[in-house]
Amino acid sequence: MGIEVRLNKTLDASYSAFAMDGPEVVGSTLGTVNGELATLNSIHVIPVKRRSGIGTVMFHAFLDWAKGLGAKRLAGEFKPEFGNCAAGHFYNAMDVKITDKTLYKDLDG
Ligand SMILES: CC(C)(COP(=O)(O)OP(=O)(O)OC[C@H]1O[C@@H](n2cnc3c(N)ncnc32)[C@H](O)[C@@H]1OP(=O)(O)O)[C@@H](O)C(=O)NCCC(=O)NCCS
């Protein structure tokens, strides 16, 4: 697929990354780690590139980074773009539990 996930900066435990398709930015991720808790603040893929695995690559890149810092749980606010029902399917595919407006995943094992 040729997607490169490029880490922009790590300030303390803040994560900001772009997914690059050659020179083109096709996605972005923002998150943090605080102790054992990883928070995914935002994950976004440009509309014309959706459903080609970029979100999956970015999600796992974030989890790898978070686990490397000792995170044991992922949590966050579930706030899909208005009218976008893809997010629920995406998190389901990533084995993330969604309850009302929150998301959760154990990172152990
Ligand atoms: C959610 C989002 C990041 C997914 O990114 P993506 O690159 O399209 O996701 P992937 O291609 O890696 O999809 C992985 C799996 O998720 C599921 N999935 C993703 N989009 C789906 C859709 N529209 N319908 C059904 N299943 C979907 C599928 O199981 C898919 O695997 P498959 O294509 O082999 O069937 C993207 O839709 C997006 O940017 N949405 C707008 C921002 C947003 O709502 N972010 C979430 C905030 S809570």
> What H or E segment, with its residue span, contains residue 74?
strand 73-77
Q: What is the reported pLDDT for 80?
A: 74
**Domains detected in the chain:** 3-106 (3.40.630.30)
Q: Which of 7, 77, 67 is nearest to 33 (CA)?
A: 67
Q: What is the pLDDT along the chain (109 residues), one digit of tens a residue?
A: 898 887 665 556 899 999 999 999 999 999 999 888 899 999 999 999 999 999 999 999 999 999 999 899 999 888 877 666 899 999 999 999 998 888 999 998 6
Beta bridge partner(s), residue 14: 11, 32
Q: What is the reported pLDDT for 82?
A: 63
* Position in ligand 1 atom list of the atom nearest CA 51: 11
Q: Which of 38, 2, 41 is nearest to 19 (CA)?
A: 2
Tell me, in angstroms, the distance from the centre of ligand 1 to residue 96's CA.
13
**17 within 8 A of 29, measured Cβ to Cβ:** yes
Tell me, in angstroms, the distance from the centre of ligand 1 to residue 99's CA.
18
Q: Whose CA is nearest to atom 16 of ligand 1?
A: 90
Tell me, in angstroms, the distance from the centre of ligand 1 to residue 43's CA.
10
The DSSP secondary-structure symbol of 12 reads: T
Q: What is the reported pLDDT for 5?
A: 86
Q: In angstroms, rounded to a whole number, what is the distance separating the alpha carbons of residues 75 and 82?
A: 21
